[in-house]
């Protein structure tokens, strides 16, 4: 088992190394002049502390884009491994610091949505499988499909229209109301929670469909298995058949997929956060990318690919942990 | 028909039919269907899949055939008349006096009096301050003229006739004349000439005759010097007034409003004995009614005079006398009340011609149809502006749904329904092109990896792992922002976007194809293919790939939905397909960014969003249905 994990981790590191190289190549091969143009624009902004030359110099020192591709990559990687991703152009603070400031908002937002998704999707998925072709099944299937098919921006706009504009229950965006600063600590907390409700609903509805569908399919497969027939033949109560024999087996693929999406909680919700002005990592990265903030963009790309890899790795390992049949092979 | 009857019929069949009855395992009983037919039959048994197919067919007809029958083009901009609140007229209470020359004045006189005319406002101010009814002003040639007050609003310049110019009061013994205000001592030894003239009662100096009269109220030695300063000529040289005429008929307005000579007579007429004058062969009379001077042309009311002046915003607007009177009433009310600060407003209604599509509406007899229109008067720094809704020729921006534009028009005045159709074309086309690129790349890479195995397989699968890890949305956003910065042409960037989307999506297809080919490779038919000496490419593309086709089709159908979502999200963020081209995503872009648009123009973006959902759901339904039809084992 340990050997399996070590092998997987080493392999993932290799892939990560290559992915980073691809990303670096991509950024380095941006049409010539784009980075210089951004640097020039930055140096002309009011209140800037650095001249154009300083910007370019600092960027080259950190990203190594003045050197060759391979050498530059190692310069950047060397800095990145030490946690030095340079200074963000858009936010004018070190990238690592900005990341640290905002990542927890994203994490909390995603975590709440994730818990809700799991809590709603798994029971409903199992219910739908248990009563296949019933009204409940069709409802779950259709809701799941609508959730999958709904573009985030459309759902967010709809929620804004209904709950913010028409009903006036929530603000249209942002993380605090107009009088946020006048509130005491507890009031500020409640205010922020209030502003998180619509983003959480958006994320939950978007995410719930896939998991619900997956649970349903897997439960159906398990319910068709021989050991379920055996359990029924032995005269076990339906409750025990479903709740004990079937449920534990259903959980195998679900645990792997749920575990695999855990690292993704840190990656932030790019679209949702941007649309609702939640200043998490997704919002910050979106604005960095749109404004040509190369250091932060490099960091975010690297960070996202690490999270994706970690997700795959985690689900592989969890699969082996949960399912003894895999371990035997 | 009941069961019993059916059985009876069967039993009562003729003998020969009974003999020809087929055995249970008779080959003729088995209806042979081609594999494609089987798949099709299983597919059409799935209600959701049929629903999805129908939706897709309708969508495709709508997007690809709809524009052929729809009259509007993708980027056609619509213009039309719309009531827009704009400035309509200006009004002011005139404070500056304007002078109108007597037409009989010759040009020399005019030149001589030019300075007087220009200084008339300060001269009038002097009169008002002193409370007198005239003042003397000196012209360029040194002569004095009298500016005479008729009324607060009307003054006229006339010859100053016999006026007191100087006296000897106080300084008689010294023989020095003291000149009154407004008169200056001529050059030369005036005093001596005056002293010499006392006994005769008059003397001449500098071409003028001065009379010396003993002041009846003064002391014994107090003498006043009078002089006839008049130069002879016309009665009045010019009239200065703050009044302006408001004509009742447009014809009179056209004839007289620019005629300075007419105005001279008109303003003066009320102060003459005859209260009338003749001008251009017409007889005019004036009468003062309730403080307003009205001018009659013959018996008809021609105009009235007032310090209140209103004019249209440009030459196309002619204000009727009635409108001006109403406006004057409102403004004088505003001035009387406390509502006089700059920026304060008042409204009134006035029956005005009704406009539809920029044209005046007339009834059957050709009379103009009037409707009550609301006018708003706004106090400005020095004057008043009048605002009202005017029928203006504009680009029809955000037109509400109507018979011409079933879903209204968008921010650029383009027809929403037409753009939805063309947008659907682009969205669906992007989906197909991207999925096609993904499939081609995926089949080639997966096929090679699966068939050859070994180091080729290893290399390609590492590449697949790498592409799996590249976060696609951030990459797409960065490239979109970069295209923006490079100001790339919208067609070029559309091609780039499709290429990038395809490049980022092939890894999944390759992995699936490789897995399938790995298992197929070992099967008997491949051994047979190898044994019959088929070439490698033929073995791959004629024998292996067709067996992967079902999974490929399913994956492509599902992929179409997700590509449509990705593309619309990018376009929604303004980083995908750009303006002149319509897509479902970028049509929602502007509208949902602003809160007020979000609710006001929900009729534009909600249908578009629903269309995106519908298309994606339909592709998913069809994909599900196809998967079940291809592989019945998967379904319970």
Residue B87 contacts by C-beta under 8 Å, 6 or more apart in sequence?
B313, B385, B386, B387
**Residue of B458, B461, B466, B557 to mutate, interface with A, max A Cβ within 10 Å:** B466
Pick the CATH number of B48-70+410-635 from 1.10.3720.10, 3.30.70.2660, 3.40.50.720, 2.40.10.230: 1.10.3720.10
Inter-chain contact B588–A132, Cβ cutoff 8 Å? no
**Mean pLDDT value across residues B218-229:** 67
Find out whether B310 and B90 touch, Cβ atoms under 8 Å: yes
pLDDT reported for residue B636: 41
Inter-chain contact B485–A34, Cβ cutoff 8 Å? yes
pLDDT reported for residue B437: 94
Residues of B in contact with A23 (CB under 8 A): 470
Inter-chain contact A23–B595, Cβ cutoff 8 Å? no
Nearest partner of B394 among B78, B76, B73, B75, judged by Cα: B78
* Cα dihedral sign, A21-A26-A31-A35: negative
Cα separation, B69 vs B61, in Å, equals 11
pLDDT digit string (tens) for B407-426?
778 777 788 888 888 988 99
B621 to chain A, any CB pair closer than 8 A? The answer is yes
**Residue of A128, A140, A151, A292 to mutate, interface with B, max B Cβ within 10 Å:** A151
In this predicted structure, the answer to whether residue B222 has a pLDDT above a threshold of 80 is no
Cα separation, A18 vs B465, in Å, equals 10
Inter-chain contact A224–B636, Cβ cutoff 8 Å? yes
pLDDT reported for residue B182: 60
**Mean pLDDT value across residues B267-275:** 77
Mean pLDDT of chain B: 80
**Mean pLDDT value across residues A279-306:** 86
Nearest CA in chain A to B602: A161
pLDDT reported for residue A174: 74
Residues of B in contact with A246 (CB under 8 A): none
In this complex, the residue of B466, B471, B613 whose CB is nearest that of residue A18 is B466
Residues of B in contact with A224 (CB under 8 A): 636
Inter-chain contact A154–B609, Cβ cutoff 8 Å? yes
What's the whole-model pTM score?
Answer: 0.72
Distance from CA of B618 to the nearest CA of A (A): 9
Distance from CA of A236 to the nearest CA of B (A): 22
ipTM of the complex: 0.88
In this complex, the residue of B598, B605, B636 whose CB is nearest that of residue A165 is B598
Q: Which phi and psi angles does B276 have, rounded to 5°? A: -165, 170
Cα separation, B237 vs B104, in Å, equals 8
Inter-chain contact A26–B598, Cβ cutoff 8 Å? no
Cα separation, B551 vs B553, in Å, equals 5
In this complex, the residue of B569, B592, B606 whose CB is nearest that of residue A152 is B569
pLDDT reported for residue A225: 85
Inter-chain contact A151–B620, Cβ cutoff 8 Å? no
Cα separation, B326 vs B339, in Å, equals 17
Inter-chain contact A285–B469, Cβ cutoff 8 Å? no
Distance from CA of A252 to the nearest CA of B (A): 19
Distance from CA of A307 to the nearest CA of B (A): 9
In this predicted structure, the answer to whether residue A278 has a pLDDT above a threshold of 90 is no
Choice between B616 and A44, residue whose per-residue pLDDT is larger: B616
Inter-chain contact B612–A286, Cβ cutoff 8 Å? no
Distance from CA of B65 to the nearest CA of A (A): 25
In this complex, the residue of A149, A172, A291 whose CB is nearest that of residue B613 is A149
Give the position of tokens 């704009």: B86
Inter-chain contact B620–A148, Cβ cutoff 8 Å? yes
In this complex, the residue of B471, B481, B482 whose CB is nearest that of residue A308 is B471
Residues of B in contact with A164 (CB under 8 A): 595
pLDDT digit string (tens) for B152-203?
778 888 776 556 667 776 555 566 667 766 667 777 777 777 777 777 777 7
Residues 482-501 of B with CB under 8 A from A: 482, 485-486
Going along A168-273, which residue ranges are E strands? none
Report how far Cα A168 is from the mean position of its chain's Cα atoms.
Answer: 29
pLDDT digit string (tens) for B532-557?
988 888 888 788 888 888 888 888 99
Provide the H-helix boundaries in B453-544.
454-469, 472-485, 490-521, 524-531, 536-538
B115 to chain A, any CB pair closer than 8 A? The answer is no
Inter-chain contact B621–A145, Cβ cutoff 8 Å? yes
In this predicted structure, the answer to whether residue B9 has a pLDDT above a threshold of 70 is no
pLDDT reported for residue B46: 81
* Cα dihedral sign, B561-A285-A205-B612: negative
Residues of A in contact with B636 (CB under 8 A): 132, 220, 223-224
Find out whether B592 and B574 touch, Cβ atoms under 8 Å: no
Give CATH 1.10.3720.10 domain extents, chain B: 48-70+410-635
**Residue of B59, B462, B469 to mutate, interface with A, max A Cβ within 10 Å:** B469
Choice between A192 and B192, residue whose per-residue pLDDT is larger: A192
Tokens at B326, concatenated: 């109403």
Provide the H-helix boundaries in B81-221.
107-118, 120-130, 190-197
Inter-chain contact A19–B598, Cβ cutoff 8 Å? no
Find out whether A322 and A252 touch, Cβ atoms under 8 Å: yes
In this predicted structure, the answer to whether residue B1 has a pLDDT above a threshold of 50 is no
Nearest CA in chain A to B459: A15
């Amino acid at each position: 088992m340990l050997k399996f994990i070590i092998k997987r981790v080493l392999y993932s590191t290799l892939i990560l190394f290559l992915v980073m190289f691809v990303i670096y190549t991509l950024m380095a091969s941006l049409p010539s002049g784009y980075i210089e143009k951004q640097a020039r624009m930055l140096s002309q902004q009011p209140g800037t502390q650095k001249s154009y030359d300083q910007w370019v110099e600092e960027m080259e020192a950190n990203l190594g884009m003045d050197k060759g591709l391979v050498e530059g990559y190692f310069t950047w990687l060397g800095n990145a491994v030490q946690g030095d991703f340079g200074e963000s152009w858009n936010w004018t603070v070190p990238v690592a610091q900005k990341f640290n400031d905002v990542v927890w908002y994203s994490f909390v937002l995603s975590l709440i949505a994730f818990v809700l998704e799991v809590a709603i999707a798994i029971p409903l998925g199992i219910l739908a499988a248990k009563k296949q072709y019933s009204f409940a099944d069709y409802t779950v299937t259709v809701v799941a499909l609508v959730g999958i098919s709904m573009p985030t921006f459309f759902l967010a706009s709809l929620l804004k229209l209904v709950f913010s504009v028409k009903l006036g229950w929530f603000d249209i965006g942002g993380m605090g109301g107009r009088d946020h600063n006048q509130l005491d600590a507890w009031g500020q907390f409640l205010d922020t929670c209030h502003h998180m409700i619509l983003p959480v609903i958006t994320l939950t509805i978007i995410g719930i469909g896939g998991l619900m569908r997956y649970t349903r399919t897997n439960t159906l497969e398990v319910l068709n298995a021989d050991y379920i027939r055996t359990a029924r033949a032995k005269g076990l109560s339906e409750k025990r058949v479903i709740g004990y024999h079937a449920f534990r087996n259903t959980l195998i693929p679900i645990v792997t997929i749920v575990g695999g999406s855990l690292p993704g909680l840190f990656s932030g919700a790019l679209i949702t956060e941007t649309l609702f002005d939640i200043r998490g990592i997704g919002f910050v990265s979106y604005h960095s990318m749109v404004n040509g903030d190369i250091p932060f963009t490099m960091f975010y790309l690297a960070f996202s690919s690490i999270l994706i890899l970690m997700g795959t790795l985690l689900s592989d390992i969890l699969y082996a942990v949960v399912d003894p049949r895999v371990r035997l092979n | 028909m009941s069961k019993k009857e059916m059985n009876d019929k069967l039993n009562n069949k003729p003998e020969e039919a009974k003999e020809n009855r087929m055995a249970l395992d008779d080959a003729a009983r088995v209806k042979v269907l081609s594999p494609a037919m089987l798949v099709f039959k299983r597919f059409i048994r799935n209600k959701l899949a049929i629903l999805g197919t129908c939706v897709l067919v309708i969508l495709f007809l709508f997007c690809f055939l709809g524009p052929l029958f729809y009259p509007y083009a993708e980027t056609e901009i619509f213009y039309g008349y719309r009531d827009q609140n704009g400035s309509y007229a200006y009004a002011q209470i005139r404070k500056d006096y304007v002078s109108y020359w007597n037409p009989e004045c010759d040009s020399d006189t005019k030149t001589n009096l030019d300075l007087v005319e220009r200084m008339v406002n300060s001269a009038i101010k002097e009169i008002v301050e002193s409370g007198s009814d005239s003042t003397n002003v000196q012209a360029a040639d040194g002569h004095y003229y009298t500016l005479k007050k008729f009324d607060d609003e009307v003054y006229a310049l006339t010859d100053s006739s016999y006026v007191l110019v100087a006296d000897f009061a106080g300084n008689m013994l010294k023989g020095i004349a003291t000149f009154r205000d407004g008169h200056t001592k001529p050059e030369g030894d005036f005093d001596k000439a005056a002293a010499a003239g006392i006994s005769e009662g008059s003397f001449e100096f500098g071409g003028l005759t001065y009379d010396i009269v003993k002041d009846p109220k003064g002391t014994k030695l107090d003498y006043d010097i009078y002089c006839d300063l008049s130069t002879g000529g016309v009665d009045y040289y010019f009239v200065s007034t703050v009044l302006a005429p408001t004509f009742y008929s447009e014809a009179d307005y056209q004839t007289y409003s620019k005629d300075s000579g007419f105005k001279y007579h008109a303003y003066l007429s009320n102060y003459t004995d005859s209260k009338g004058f003749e001008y251009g062969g017409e007889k005019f009379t004036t009468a003062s009614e309730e403080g307003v001077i009205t001018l009659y042309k013959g018996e008809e009311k021609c105009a009235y005079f007032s310090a209140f002046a209103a004019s249209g915003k440009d030459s196309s607007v002619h204000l009727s006398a009635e409108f001006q009177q109403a406006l004057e009433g409102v403004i004088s009310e505003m001035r009387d009340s406390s509502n006089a600060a700059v920026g304060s407003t008042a409204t009134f209604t006035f029956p005005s011609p009704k406009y539809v599509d920029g044209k005046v509406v007339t009834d059957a007899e050709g009379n103009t149809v009037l409707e009550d229109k609301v006018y708003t008067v706004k106090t400005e720094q020095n004057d008043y502006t009048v605002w009202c809704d005017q029928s203006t020729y504009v680009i029809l921006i955000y037109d509400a749904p109507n018979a011409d534009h079933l879903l209204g028009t968008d921010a650029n005045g383009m027809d929403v329904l037409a753009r939805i159709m063309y947008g659907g074309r682009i969205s669906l086309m992007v989906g197909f092109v991207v999925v096609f690129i993904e499939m081609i790349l995926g089949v080639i890479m997966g096929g090679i990896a699966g068939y050859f195995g070994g180091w080729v397989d290893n290399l390609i699968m590492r590449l697949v792992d790498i592409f799996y890890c590249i976060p696609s949305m951030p990459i797409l956003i960065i490239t979109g922002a970069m295209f923006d910065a490079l100001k790339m042409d919208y067609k070029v960037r559309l091609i780039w976007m499709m290429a990038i989307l395809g490049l980022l999506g092939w890894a999944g297809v390759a992995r699936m194809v490789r897995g399938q080919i790995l298992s197929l490779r070992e099967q008997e038919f491949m051994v047979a293919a190898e044994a019959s000496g088929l070439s490698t490419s033929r073995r791959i593309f004629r024998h292996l790939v067709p067996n992967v086709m079902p999974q490929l089709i399913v994956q492509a159908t599902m992929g179409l939905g997700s590509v449509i979502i990705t593309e619309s999200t990018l376009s929604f963020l303004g980083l995908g397909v750009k303006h002149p081209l319509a897509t479902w995503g970028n049509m929602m872009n502007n509208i949902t960014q602003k809160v007020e648009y979000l609710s006001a123009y929900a009729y534009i973006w909600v249908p578009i969003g629903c269309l995106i959902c519908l298309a994606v759901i339909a592709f998913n339904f069809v994909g599900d249905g196809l998967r079940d039809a291809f592989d019945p084992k998967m379904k319970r």
